[in-house]
Amino acid sequence: MYNKKVMDHFMNPRNVGEIADPDGMGEVGNLKCGDIMRIYLRIDPTTDVIEDIKFKTFGCGSAVASSSIATEMIMGKTVEEALKLTNKDVLKELGGLPTIKVHCSVLAEQAFKAAAYDYATRHDKHYAALENYSPEEAEHDHHHDEDED
Amino acid sequence: MYNKKVMDHFMNPRNVGEIADPDGMGEVGNLKCGDIMRIYLRIDPTTDVIEDIKFKTFGCGSAVASSSIATEMIMGKTVEEALKLTNKDVLKELGGLPTIKVHCSVLAEQAFKAAAYDYATRHDKHYAALENYSPEEAEHDHHHDEDED
Amino acid sequence: MKTIYMDYSATTPMKPEVIEAVSDAFKHHYGNASSIHHIGQDAKVLLQQAREQVARLIGAEPREIFFTAGGTESDNWAIEIALETKPGKHIITTSVEHHAILHPLEALEKKGYRVTYLPVDEYGMVSPEQVAAAIEDDTILISVMYINNEIGSINPVEEIAEVAAQHGILFHTDGVQALGNIPIDMSANQISMMSMSAHKIYGPKGVGALYIRKGVRTVPLIYGGAQERKVRAGTENIPGIIGFAKAAELARENLTAHIERLSGLRDKLRDGIMNQIPQAKYNGHPTKRHPGNVHVCFKYIEGESLLLLLDMKGICASSGSACTSGSLDPSHVLMNIGLTHEIAHGSLRLTLGDFTTEDDVATVIEEIGPIVQRLREMSPLTE
Amino acid sequence: MKTIYMDYSATTPMKPEVIEAVSDAFKHHYGNASSIHHIGQDAKVLLQQAREQVARLIGAEPREIFFTAGGTESDNWAIEIALETKPGKHIITTSVEHHAILHPLEALEKKGYRVTYLPVDEYGMVSPEQVAAAIEDDTILISVMYINNEIGSINPVEEIAEVAAQHGILFHTDGVQALGNIPIDMSANQISMMSMSAHKIYGPKGVGALYIRKGVRTVPLIYGGAQERKVRAGTENIPGIIGFAKAAELARENLTAHIERLSGLRDKLRDGIMNQIPQAKYNGHPTKRHPGNVHVCFKYIEGESLLLLLDMKGICASSGSACTSGSLDPSHVLMNIGLTHEIAHGSLRLTLGDFTTEDDVATVIEEIGPIVQRLREMSPLTE
Ligand SMILES: Cc1ncc(COP(=O)(O)O)c(C=O)c1O
Ligand SMILES: Cc1ncc(COP(=O)(O)O)c(C=O)c1O
């Protein structure tokens, strides 16, 4: 079902856990849809570089793997750079997900956005990518394509 | 499909053939239905005993077997006695036929009746069993029951 | 790594005796049972013997057994029979049926039929009274599954069949999970039709049957040749049917021992899990239950992840979680027994069978704790 | 006594390679392809590989292949697809189709559909012009069989498919007898749907497929689980499908040699019979013909008797005679090609296949003369 890279990230997820007193934190998803992801950020306020990132995920294999690889991709980038990452990048880095699971990769993108927004709000930072962002509307949007091929 | 006795009569039919100048001859069935039987009789005019009987049949295995066993049952009987035989007797003697083939046993009964009628007409004999007999109506009546059990 | 297969309700491995019977038929009995030559007649005889074997397993007459390509076809066919032989537009079923019943009924709703989906209790069961109360003037069919495929509860189908009979309504039961797992005696009940599937009783896939009580009017779902007394067309799958028959024979001979042994393993597995893991809910009826079914929901974790981690240990299980089916919601069964999304997502079905050993059960009990623990540590929901 | 099987159009024995593939799957690949554990995923991979193999045999894409339980189901399904996706009440077919097409259409006539049964020529064939002329405003489906199962004639289905495509009408062909017996390339024609059956190409019984061209809207005939891209429910018969795939692979690899060898044997058998026995009629097209089909009618004799006597010599054959089917009339095919009852009753179909040897053909030629002679001597019709 999943390729080797996805399974590796699922079995050995990178950056699982929490950060005490994080500079930013975001959570998306809901119980109804069956996947929830929370991201914690530690950011250097002068350089804006993401020095540490941790996640917790409730969800299926691809939700966990997407979370894991996304944190790897985000770590060390500036917030600005990291905000450019989309679920397409996550998918590509994972080497693809089954069609019905593609929506899981959106979760990571959304969770990071929410955490970055939290950081921006608390530290009075402004990012072009977050200009029209509203945490309410950012509810992880599920568009399951049930076709199996 | 057929039991041993039926197969034996089919494979080694008794009394196949013709009688030259028969005392009675009858043919029933038609091409449309796929079975035709012709019976030839040699009858002792004083005793009314059937001294010889021969048949020719165009038809399936059970038509041939029914013809064969019927001639055996008829041989040596008086016409009166032989007219009492019905397709039930033929069936019983054969040890049964598949339901869809039961109609074939009627053929033999009807063919003999036709031959006896021919004999009676030509020799001015009268048999109670043939009182209401009309060769036109005697068309072998097919009532296929297609249920296979 | 050793495979520990605990997904018998999804499908069973074939028993060696069954494999041998089918393989022998492949080699020696390839005839078309409609052919009159010896190769065909040989097939016809075997077909009849197979029909007798399957009939014996459920106390039916051979001519009440009609072979199909599986449980799904049998379910669809039973509905079609009601539709085409009874006037009326109303059908009663339950909200926890298999999709092989629910989906054809949903298609009928679009064509103007009315379907009552009876709500179920916390065990996924309905009562004869509920069924009686739902009957309308133009009810043509009542279909209630014998044993639920997810949570294993056994419905009182014999009593429900009586209610149906009193009202002169056809009663169908999806017996796919019941066959070979509980005693069934058609001569002592009033069930009109029952669906069966060979691959759930150690027989081959792609073979099933519909029991149709003598006297029930029948029409085909699949039209064509005159096979199966003219109501199920298509060259008979003789080797498959022979395999089904062999599986039925073994099931009949071993029924009591099978039930006893499995129930024991099942309860051991249940206790091993429930005594060890907090925040877990055991689903399905405690006693009126499939002998091999264990169904648990673990709070804070998601079913697919659980299955994947179990699979890494060689343990094959199943889940009614949303993610395994590619749908948004957890299985309709779990929703309909009143579980919240929170708990329903963490569902795990372990189904045991004749090849399950005490060791297998012990291993699963040992492995499952740390796996649940690990997922809970990763979960943002864990309190 | 040695069996000489000449009834390959009824069903074929399985090839040893196919038996091995299926038996191996029985033992090692018993998973349900919907399960996410390794046993299920293994089944899923094999299912996909099998789909590719079957697709290759007919130049299709894998996703155009939908597995079913056989040719009959595929035929019924193709009709259902037209019914449920197209508005209109008219269907065109031929008068010599298999019952798997004729009987479902007859059932539809009772529900208000109009069906045109095109008359056929003396070979049992229809022309594209005939089809074009029969099209009405509300024609939703044209179904013309590829190769006739009794007399072996090959219809010009590619041309007919073009006519259908020009009118935007679905075109289905019953390809059960064509598969593996003539080259078929779906990428080069406009056929919308084609029925196939594994047991006619040395595969297992109870497995078939419907080819559905990409872009054709689809609905299920059998509703339930999400198998086969949600249009054919039921746990996949993986071992059976693997057997079908192996048979398809062998058929593809051997196609040219198979056709050449069989055609040679066929013509030898035909000549051996026709040169020896007077008052016989050879049926079906002389050249546009199934490579293994010999069909003769012998005047004055009845088909079942002929089959029984051949069977006594170990020769397995078939007949369109009335008596073999339990119906009054000889096969609709023989009636519709204009044969009289007189000649149609004495029909004999000998169908050859990959296990047929030169010796078999020689033996049949030797045995058949005296048998026909004997029956003619017993017949009151013989002149
Ligand atoms: C209760 C129930 N009904 C029907 C089916 C369908 O049976 P099959 O897979 O043989 O079509 C299944 C299993 O898949 C089942 O568990
Ligand atoms: C032309 C044709 N169509 C359909 C069928 C039915 O196929 P199956 O027996 O696989 O259902 C057959 C053979 O029986 C056939 O020869």
What mean pLDDT value characterizes chain A? Answer: 89
Q: Is D323 part of the annotated catalytic residue set?
A: yes
Q: Which residues of A are catalytic?
A: 33, 104
Residues B96-108, mean pLDDT to the nearest whole number:
89
D157 three-state secondary structure: helix
Query: Which residue's entry shows tokens 């292949």?
Result: D65
Pocket, ligand 2, Cβ cutoff 6 A: C 234-235; D 70-72, 75, 98, 100, 145, 149, 174, 176-177, 197, 199, 208
Question: Which residues 6+ apart lie within 8 Å of B5 measured at CB?
Answer: B65, B69, B94, B95
Q: Which residues of A touch D41 (CB under 8 A)?
A: 1
What is the reported pLDDT for A143?
Answer: 40
Residue D325 has pLDDT above 90, yes or no: no
CA–CA separation, C323 and C319 (whole Å)? 9
Segment C227-276, tens digit of pLDDT = 999 999 999 999 999 999 999 999 999 999 999 999 999 999 999 999 99
CA–CA separation, C98 and C83 (whole Å)? 19
What are the sequence ranges of the domains in chain D?
4-12+255-378, 16-251
Segment B59-69, tens digit of pLDDT = 999 999 999 99
User: Which residue does chain B place closest to D304, by CA atoms?
Assistant: B60
pTM over 0.90: yes
Query: Which token pair is C312?
Result: 């890494």
Q: Smallest Cα–Cα separation from C332: which of C150, C112, C67, C104?
A: C150
Task: Please work out, in degrees rounded to the nearest 5, the angle formed at the alpha carbon of residue C324 by the alpha carbons of C180 and C316.
Answer: 50
CA of C78 to the centre of ligand 1 (A): 14
**Four-way CATH pick for D16-251: 3.40.640.10, 3.10.20.30, 3.40.140.10, 3.60.20.10:** 3.40.640.10
Q: Which residues of B touch D298 (CB under 8 A)?
A: none
DSSP string over C81-111: HHHHHS--SEEEEETT--HHHHHHHHHHHTT
> Which residue from B11, B57, B144 is facing D380, i.e. has the nearest CB?
B57
User: Measured on CA atoms in the order D218, D219, D221, D227, is the torsion positive or negative?
Assistant: positive
> Which residue from C32, C226, C317 is facing D11, i.e. has the nearest CB?
C32
The stretches of A4-83 forming alpha helices (DSSP H) are 4-11, 61-74, 79-83
What is the reported pLDDT for A6?
Answer: 96
C316 three-state secondary structure: strand
Backbone angles phi, psi at B2, to 5 degrees: -105, 150
Give me the sheet containing A24-30, strands edge to edge: A24-30, A35-43, A50-58
The amino acid that residue D166 corresponds to is: Q
Segment C73-83, tens digit of pLDDT = 999 999 999 99
H or E stretch at C366: helix C358-378
From B124-128, C192-196, D263-267, the region with the lowest mean pLDDT: B124-128
The amino acid that residue D119 corresponds to is: P
Segment C1-11, tens digit of pLDDT = 899 999 999 99
| C11 Cβ under 8 Å from any chain D Cβ | yes
**ipTM of the predicted structure?**
0.94
The stretches of C275-357 forming alpha helices (DSSP H) are 303-312, 322-325, 332-336, 341-344
CATH superfamily of C4-12+255-378: Aspartate Aminotransferase, domain 1 (3.90.1150.10)
Give all chains having 3 or more CB-to-CB distances under 8 Å with chain D.
A, B, C
What is the reported pLDDT for A142?
Answer: 43
| Residue C360 near ligand 1, beta carbon < 6 Å | no
B72 confidence band (pLDDT: 50, 70, 90): very high
Structural domains of chain B, ranges and CATH numbers in brackets: 4-131 (3.90.1010.10)
Measured between CA atoms, how close is B11 to chain C, in angstroms?
A: 15
From B18-32, C15-29, C131-145, the region with the lowest mean pLDDT: B18-32
CA–CA separation, C142 and C151 (whole Å)? 21
Query: Which residue's entry shows tokens 């041998």?
Result: C20
Segment D207-242, tens digit of pLDDT = 999 999 999 999 999 999 999 999 999 999 999 999
Segment C181-198, tens digit of pLDDT = 999 999 999 999 999 999
Residue C329 has pLDDT above 90, yes or no: no
CA–CA separation, C330 and C30 (whole Å)? 44
What is the reported pLDDT for A144?
Answer: 39
